[in-house]
Amino acid sequence: MRTLDSLTLPADWVGIRLMQERSSQRSLRNGLPETNRRSRLEGAMVEVMVNGQMGYAATNHLTVEGLRSAAQRAFDHAQAAVRWRIHDFRASHIRPTVMGIYQSPVEQPLDAIAPREINDVLARICHGLKVSDKIVQTVATASLHEVDTWLVSSSGSQIHQRFSFVATHFGATAQDGAIVQTRSHNGPRSQCYQGGWERLQGSDDLWASVHRVGEQALELLTAEDCPELTTTLVLAPDQMMLQIHESIGHPLELDRILGDERNYAGGSFVQPEDFGSLRYGSELLNVTFDPTVEAEFASYAFDDTGVVADREYLIRNGRLERGLGSHESQARLGVPGVACARATSWDRPPLDRMANLNIEPGDTPFAVLIGSIEDGVYMEANQSWSIDDQRYKFQFGCEYAKRIRRGKFAETLRNPNYRATTPQFWHSLVQVGDRDTWQAFGTPYCGKGEPNQIIRVGHGSPVCAFANIEVFGGAA
């Protein structure tokens, strides 16, 4: 605040977002260390608005002089671009005045866990995954991040948020000659939560999961390839995570619809006039933006511009209601949005981002859902993902699948893939599992923006069933 108070720039608004991050990453392969890495980084983003144009300067020189110098550079950047500004952002709500704090729920603080203890657990996991000589590789990883952010502004905002992130992963690769299959704990690095060490060690079924992953990697070696057919597709929450992310989250980002992202990740098939009217999917589809879910990976109380974060429906009973757009995007497009202006770190400006984007549970128990399907395929855990720049045509692959015959799981299938277009897919949603089938996962690797940014997102979903979807297998 002292730095801010000392600035004499003739600016409309000045904000400083300071960030300190402490992390450790430990990985073992076949029970031997691959990575023992820590980090301790800090820096500040200074944003200055001049005649409605924002300029920024990021620096890790966290002295009064360093911040003052950054503020001057940000001012100069804004001033040089005013003539070509895309929008006049001087409206007061663009950067609201807010005071508050947030802290992740933590039972076992990360700094209370000895490195030896973490490595011991990871080594035991590797050992447990090795259920056969045909398991040629086992991996186990734990990434722990503690992040403090402070946001202060010339309009009086003072926010402090303290996050504790835990991301774990383990998996096994089985090989028999030319056949190679990998199975992991709900897909690559999907076990991402806020909290402490309890997120891994406190899990009652950890060791059962370890054994199951090893056994299923082995099972896939002799499984049939997924057949090519059009059928009922049932997706587990660990694949729904990816499905939500790619074909609901990204197309609903207002900055994509505005065109900001067209040179990199792409635009969207969704048009501005679709909000309030478009039938995005079947009536069973209910999607919320919800940064208030305790322990979900992308929970927070304020976005990186200081907007208070609340739960909002994006899609209700299949109808599109609002987009994933910050106050800036809402002002430019005239469409309702959410508190989602987020930056990957102190060195990038905030963008329209997903946070926790969830599908609300329905009322069909899992046994009833599977029992109602005469012929279908059930898939778990993402392995491959690709979608076009308008978020329309996609093809996704999973680690593990089961054929469903006459209401029961039948043979195991390997290399399961499926493809569809986004509207067709969500209109094919025919069953939504109940609360007991709902699970939340996350990923630290959502990429977007120029300059590029990755960010943490969380996605919760029940088990869902889709009619008449093309599924197919592997091989050239």
**Residue numbers 364-403 binding other proteins by CB under 8 A:** 384-390, 393, 395, 397
391 torsion bin: left (phi>0), alpha (psi -120 to 50), beta (else):
left
Stretch that binds other proteins, among 230-238, 274-282, 344-352, 353-361 (CB under 8 A): 344-352
State which amino acid sits at residue 413: L
What is d(CA 271, CA 423) in angstroms, rounded to the nearest whole number? Answer: 13
State which amino acid sits at residue 27: S
Stretch that binds other proteins, among 7-15, 170-178, 403-411, 427-435 (CB under 8 A): 170-178
Of residues 102 and 385, the one with the C-beta less far from other proteins:
385
Hey, which residues between 60 and 99 contact other proteins (CB under 8 A)? 60-61, 63, 66, 70, 73-74, 76-78, 80-81, 83-86
Of residues 230 and 317, the one with the C-beta less far from other proteins:
230
Of residues 81 and 292, the one with the C-beta less far from other proteins:
81
Strand 408-414 to 32-50 pairing: unpaired
**Exposure letters 127-158 (e unless 16+ CB within 10 A, then b):** ebbbbeebbebbbbbbbbbbbebbbbbbeebe
Selection from 297, 253, 302 nearest residue 456 by Cα: 297
* Residue 337 sits in the site that holds other proteins (CB under 8 A): no
Hey, which residues between 121 and 160 contact other proteins (CB under 8 A)? 123, 136-137
Distance in Å, CB of 187 to other proteins, minimum:
14
Of residues 319 and 332, the one with the C-beta less far from other proteins:
332
Cα-Cα-Cα-Cα dihedral of 148, 158, 80, 72, to 10°?
-80
Hey, which residues between 250 and 269 contact other proteins (CB under 8 A)? 258-260, 262-264, 266-267
* Residue 421 sits in the site that holds other proteins (CB under 8 A): yes
Task: Tell me the per-residue interface mask from 222 to 251 with other proteins, x by CB under 8 A, - otherwise.
Answer: ------------------------------
Hey, which residues between 7 and 36 contact other proteins (CB under 8 A)? 28, 32-33, 36
- Cβ neighbourhood burial of 9 (10 Å; 0-12, 13-18, 19+): middle
What is d(CA 174, CA 192) in angstroms, rounded to the nearest whole number? Answer: 25
Q: Tokens 């509207």 appear where?
A: 423
Of residues 8 and 475, the one with the C-beta less far from other proteins:
475
